[in-house]
Amino acid sequence: MPIKPSKVANKSGLHEISKLQRQLGIELLEIQGQKAELTGAGLRRAQRLLKEAEALE
């Protein structure tokens, strides 16, 4: 299932995304101009987090 790119709100949002990616050591989003697309690593991380959240319920 392809992930549709979405617009990134502002430069502050881009800074926070970059900071998070550095802290995690993985590229979550591929940012091109004002658009961001989830990377394969970002998708896997998101799926893992969702499974962990479901296990907490």
Output b/e per residue, 19-33; b: 16+ Cβ within 10 A: eebeeeeeebbebee
> Is 12 domain-assigned?
yes
46/41 Cα distance (integer angstroms): 9
**Domain containing residue 12:** 6-56
**Number of helical (H) and strand (E) elements in the chain, helices listed first:** 2, 3
Q: Is residue 1 part of a domain?
A: no
Under the banding of pLDDT at 50, 70 and 90, the label for residue 45 is very high
Q: Looking at the domain assignment, is residue 37 inside a domain?
A: yes
Confirm if 26 and 42 have CB atoms less than 8 A apart.
Answer: yes
Residue 21, in any domain of the structure: yes
The domain tally of the chain equals: 1
Encode pLDDT of 1-41 as tens digits: 455 555 555 677 778 888 999 999 999 988 887 788 899 99
